[in-house]
């Protein structure tokens, strides 16, 4: 939710890191955002679960990647 909400507001995600202890938004807002970005019309709970697990996995890998690090500089901005 933290990433998707910032993405929707067109905020810079290059310097943002997920903080598990941070609670943002309501359950209703989270579900609405997941439904919006899931890519399926009327998804099942299983499809939403798979989407969130996949997105979490990809974002975790991105945060750890040297190529996506803010330290890389302007060469890979927005990568």
Q: What is the DSSP letter of 39?
A: -
CA–CA distances in Å: residue 41 to residues 25, 46, 54: 23, 13, 18
| Predicted structure pTM score | 0.74
Query: Contact, 79 vs 67, CB < 8 A?
Result: yes
Kindly give the confidence (pLDDT) of every residue in the chain, 79 residues in length, as a single tens digit, with 9 standing for 90 and above: 888 999 999 988 877 878 778 888 899 999 999 999 998 999 999 999 999 999 999 988 888 887 776 666 566 666 5
Distance separating alpha carbons of residues 27 and 31, to the nearest angstrom: 6
């Amino acid at each position: 939710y933290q990433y998707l909400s910032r993405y929707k507001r067109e905020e810079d995600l290059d310097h943002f890191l997920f903080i598990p202890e941070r609670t943002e938004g309501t359950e209703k807002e989270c579900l609405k955002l997941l439904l919006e970005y899931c890519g399926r019309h009327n998804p099942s709970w299983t499809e939403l679960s798979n989407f969130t697990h996949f997105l979490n996995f990809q974002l975790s890998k991105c945060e750890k990647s040297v190529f996506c690090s803010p330290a890389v500089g302007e060469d890979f901005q927005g990568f």
